[in-house]
Structure 1
């Protein structure tokens, strides 16, 4: 995470695996590191980093790998029971 100052970017937090989302409360910036399953807070003025919570139920469980994306997608396939539109949606009637 970076803070942008007049002199340029200043590193506030480094080494986060997969940060998701940001929230600000007072001087603190919060993010969830999905890879490490932790909630981090960072002081926007001092740069102090703290782990606020660990072992969060986010991301895949330990030892489970993400499946590859499917090779076949069905976008625009005509529907049953209606007249298909050019976008593949059924019209009532």
Structure 2
């Protein structure tokens, strides 16, 4: 079974910037979502992706603030991986 990797990912920087433009500080986002402020800084400044459950909470908060559907969240292209499982080859010895 070949699983295809998604071609885009959520743009967590834009998610947090959108919320900030609506008047919420990172401290307030941390309080409302129970995600530590330093973790939010990592998502915004270092390009770190959250675990699925944490990302879901943050997306729901963004959707509530923006009055939008979570599926319409901003996305960016996913960088290609150096390892492609569909091209896996084994050497015979």
TM-score, normalisation: structure 1:
0.21
Which TM-score applies when normalising by structure 2? 0.21
More helix by share: 2
Hey, which of these two has a bigger chunk of strand by percent?
1
Q: Which one has more relative contact order, counting CA pairs under 8 Å at least 6 apart?
A: 2
Specify the structure having the higher radius of gyration (Cα).
1
